[in-house]
Amino acid sequence: MGLGLASLGALAALQGADMTEARADVGDNQPAASATPPVSAAPTTSVTPAVVAASGCKLKGTQAGRKGVQLYDAPVGGRVIAAFTGALVPMTLSEIPLEPGQARAKLSTSAGSPALRIDGYVSAADVTVFSLRDLPVVASHVWITSGHRVKIVSATADTLRTELTIGGSENQAVRASGPCEAYSLQPGPTSPMEVPGNARGYMTKKSTMDLFDRANGSVVFSLKMIEGSGQLFWSTESKTGFVHIQSRSDISIDAWARWSDLEALKKGEMRDQYIAPSTALAGAKLGLDKPPPIVKAVKDIPVRARRDEKEKPVGVVEAGTELYLMETVVGWTNILPVSLGMTPPDDGGFWIPSTEAPK
């Protein structure tokens, strides 16, 4: 098969090997990579990382790195040292700026198991983050549901504030805060919502619906859905023109709504709707037309972006990592991870001393 990834074009020259791509289905649509990074354009030489106020949160997981997203060697400015291809990559996201738009977060392509670990910096918006627990939007009434993609909007030393756009809404976004352990770079397990046998299903009648803290109480939230779309709820309680509704999708709701804003469903019509959604973990399946032999590192080996001992290493081949030895040039060997989840820029490489190359 032919080369399908523009970011892999540089590999055609490595030992004459061509890259091939076979796509695998992804459970949810991946958002596009940020059109422009929230930092200055990269110069041609590495720079000393800027001092940026950052969170102590450290998120781990394996996910399909968004195709074309680049890793830099500094949180601000710097040069490109790697790019994701769309294949699965283990990741650790840390040093998340308190204001993510001001600088990049640190990303290491390792999550605990042996890997070709490149230590770079990336816009936090270009990394998919998942909620691992329900996060309160309105205390006791509205939550971002666990297991869903969220966007980091700000951080503190030990918390992250994230945003979710409600599915089927007029781009209505909700925000919630949670501790570091409430987030991950891969989805956690989901389970069906328990619906009582005597529950009644309801659908929204209007595109906008107010939610109340109690029957005939105070408005705590307003849903703003696209015209023609509906939100499904269930209930076992009603009082004085109000219905106590609950739902669990990308947001979870436990509140009261006006009877006049709802359409009651027939018994049994809503049960199948309450199977919790799941997010498939899949990415591009890549391969080389004429792959070199796979070798395994027996010790940690520093990786540089240039064939120069004076270059600061940009990562490490961790002991136990399987990799491809692509080419050797004047005492330096260019390598690639077997997953092909990332590649160097056209003018760089993942170089190790040829004397340390695994046999």
The CATH number given to whatever domain includes residue 213 is 2.30.30
Residues 292 and 241 placed together within one structural domain of the fold: no
When comparing pLDDT for 229 and 238, which is higher? 238
Query: Is residue 181 assigned to a domain?
Result: no
CB 210 within 8 A of CB 222: yes
Domain boundary among 251, 274, 297: 274
Question: What per-residue confidence (pLDDT) applies to 227?
Answer: 85
Residue 222 burial by CB count (10 A; 0-12/13-18/19+): exposed, middle or buried? exposed
Residues 241 and 336 placed together within one structural domain of the fold: no
Residues 52 and 113 placed together within one structural domain of the fold: yes
Question: What per-residue confidence (pLDDT) applies to 60?
Answer: 98
Query: Is residue 118 assigned to a domain?
Result: yes
Query: Is residue 205 assigned to a domain?
Result: yes
CB 250 within 8 A of CB 144: yes
Question: What per-residue confidence (pLDDT) applies to 287?
Answer: 74
Residues 55 and 100 placed together within one structural domain of the fold: yes
Residues 220 and 307 placed together within one structural domain of the fold: no
Residues 10 and 33 placed together within one structural domain of the fold: yes
Residues 112 and 212 placed together within one structural domain of the fold: no
Residues 234 and 312 placed together within one structural domain of the fold: no
Q: What mean pLDDT, rounded, does the chain reach?
A: 85
Reported pTM: 0.82
pLDDT, one tens digit per residue, over 281-311 is 566 666 778 889 899 999 999 999 999 999 9
Query: Is residue 180 assigned to a domain?
Result: no
DSSP 169: B
Parent domain of 344: 6-127+282-356
User: What is the total count of domains within the chain?
Assistant: 2
Residues 215 and 313 placed together within one structural domain of the fold: no
Residues 122 and 15 placed together within one structural domain of the fold: yes
Residue 229: pLDDT above 60?
yes
Residues 98 and 35 placed together within one structural domain of the fold: yes
pLDDT, one tens digit per residue, over 163-222 is 999 999 999 999 999 999 999 999 987 766 788 888 999 999 999 999 999 999 999 999
Question: What per-residue confidence (pLDDT) applies to 258?
Answer: 98
Domain boundary among 247, 274, 301: 274
Segment among 38-47, 141-150, 285-294 with least mean pLDDT: 38-47
Question: What per-residue confidence (pLDDT) applies to 47?
Answer: 47
Residues ≥6 apart with Cβ < 8 Å to 69: 33, 34, 83, 84, 122, 126
Residue 18 burial by CB count (10 A; 0-12/13-18/19+): exposed, middle or buried? middle
Residues 292 and 253 placed together within one structural domain of the fold: no
CB 70 within 8 A of CB 83: yes
Query: Is residue 175 assigned to a domain?
Result: no
Question: What per-residue confidence (pLDDT) applies to 340?
Answer: 93
Question: What per-residue confidence (pLDDT) applies to 6?
Answer: 36
Amino acid at 269: E
